[in-house]
Amino acid sequence: MNKEVSGTYNAIDLFAGCGGLSKGFMDAGFNVIVGIDNDKDALNTFELNHKGATALQADLSKQETFDEIKKIAGDRNIDVIIAGPPCQGFSLTGPRNFDDERNKLYLAVLEMVRQYNPKGFIIENVPGMATLYKGEIKNEILKRFRAMGYNVECQILKACDYGVPQMRKRLIFMGIRKDCGMPSFPKPLFGPETERPYRTCRDAISDLPTRVDSLGEEIDKYSGEPITEYQKLMRKDCDILHNHVATAHKDFVIETIAQVPEGGNYKDLPAGVGESRKFHMAWTRLDGNAPARTVDTGHRNLFHYELNRVPTVRESARIQSFPDDFVFTGSRTKQNRQVGNAVPPILGQVLGKKMLEIFTGEK
C-alpha cells in the first residue's frame, strides 16, 4: 500500500457531534486532527473515543473559531474536510437568500474549504435537502464548490447497502480538488445488487443481554459469545459491555407494546389501545429479520423486535455500527441523542476508503 494511505492524510471534522463520521474516517486510515461542535456533551464522547484528536467547543460562524482551528492544525496539511452542517436556515430563506445569516453554518463549510484548499471534502445531510426548493439549494452548493476548483457530485446513500443494519439514508456531497481526481461513490456491498444479504437487527444485537430481569449497569459484562459475523466485528476484543442499560417503562407502555407484532406499529393495536400516540412512527416495533428503521434521537417510539422496551444505547449504537469499544458519555438522554444524530461509522469508513482510492489510484 502507498505509504501515504497509512495514517498520513489529515482530516478536520466540522459539526462533529460524537464523531461517527470521523470515526469511520479514522478506521479508513485518516488522522483526525480536530472535531468542532457546540455541544459539549457530544464533544466529551468525541474526545474519549478519538485518540490524538482535539475536541473544540466553538461556534463555526465566528472568525475566532477559524483562528483556533489554525492553531491546532499548526503546519500540518489539511487533506480532507468532513462536515454535517444543519440546513434548517435554507428551508426558511430559499435559494435567492443563500447568504442569509441563518445559513451561516453551512457557509462556514464553504469558508473552511476556501481557506484550506483540501484535496477533498465530504458533506452529509438529510435526503430532503436534495429536493428542497426543487433542487435549487443543492444546485447552488454544487455551483459554489465547482467555482472554487472542485469536481463535486452528490448522491443519496443507504447505510444498509454498506453493511450497517439500518435503512438510514443520507445525502452525501463529495468534492475532489480538480488536480486530485473525480468524485466517485462506493458501490453497494450488501443487498439485492450483491451476493450478501442486508444485515438485520438480530444480526446486530441478539448476543446482548436481554435486560428483562434487571436494567443493567453502565459498565457491565456480556452474557455469552457473539453469534454473527457482525457481532464479532462490533465486539472486537472487548470484554466489558458499556451503555447497555434498559429503560424502566411505565406499565401502560409495556402493556401496549406487548400487543404490537414484530415489525408492526400503532395500526396493529386493538381499538382504544395506545391512542395517546397516533403519528407515523408511534409504537413501532423493529423487524428482527430486516435492517432497522432510522435510529432517532428520542427513543420513545422505536421498540425492540422482541422485548417490550426501547433499545438500550448500546443496541442503538450497534444498529448505527458503532463498535462496542466506542463509549458514550453523559446522561442516557444525551447518549441517545448522540447516537441518533451520528453518521454510521461504517458508512464513514467506506467513504473514507473511497477517497483514499481516488487520491492514490490504489484500491
pLDDT in tens, 58-94: 999 899 999 999 999 999 999 999 999 987 778 778 8
| Counts of helices then strands in the chain (DSSP H, E) | 12, 11
| pLDDT at position 95 | 82
Q: Distance between alpha carbon 90 and the CA centroid of its chain, in Å?
A: 21
Q: What is the CATH number of the domain that holds 28?
A: 3.40.50.150
Catalytic residue among 18, 87, 154, 160: 87
Domain assignment present for 101: yes
Considering only CA atoms, which of 234, 238, 240 is closest in space to residue 220? Answer: 240
Residue 15 lies inside a defined structural domain of this protein: yes
In tens digits, the chain (363 residues) has pLDDT values of 333 444 589 999 999 999 999 999 999 999 999 999 999 999 999 999 999 999 999 999 899 999 999 999 999 999 999 999 987 778 778 888 888 888 888 999 999 999 999 999 999 999 999 998 899 999 999 999 999 999 999 999 999 999 999 999 999 999 999 999 999 999 999 999 999 999 999 999 999 999 987 898 899 999 999 999 999 999 999 999 999 999 999 999 999 999 999 999 988 999 888 777 766 678 999 999 999 999 987 767 899 999 999 999 999 999 999 999 999 999 999 999 999 999 999 999 999 999 999 999 876
Q: What is the pLDDT of residue 280?
A: 66
Does 93 fall in a domain? Answer: yes
DSSP 8-state symbol, 92: H
Q: In a 3-state reduction of DSSP, which class is residue 20?
A: helix
Residues with Cβ within 8 Å of 244's Cβ and at least 6 positions away in sequence, in order, are: 208, 209, 211, 216, 220, 312, 313, 314, 315
In tens, the pLDDT along 294-320 reads 998 776 789 999 999 999 999 999 999
Give yes or no for a contact between 69 and 49, defined as CB atoms under 8 angstroms apart: no
3-state secondary structure of 123: strand
Distance in angstroms (rounded) separating the CA atoms of residues 203 and 294: 16
Asked whether residue 19 is assigned to any structural domain, the reply reads yes
Please state the φ and ψ torsions of residue 245, each to the nearest 5 degrees: -115, 125
Number of domains in the chain: 1
* Residue 169: inside a domain: yes
Q: If we measure between CA atoms, which residue out of 67, 186, 180 comes closest to residue 121?
A: 180
**Grid cell listed for 4:** 501515504
pLDDT at 212: 83
Phi and psi at residue 274, in whole multiples of 5°?
Answer: 70, 25
What is d(CA 13, CA 351) in angstroms, rounded to the nearest whole number? Answer: 14
| Whole-number pLDDT of residue 282 | 84
Query: Is position 336 within any domain?
Result: no
Is 87 annotated in the active site? Answer: yes
Its domain, for residue 49, covers 3-192+344-360
State CA 68 to chain mean position distance: 25
In a domain, 290, yes or no: no
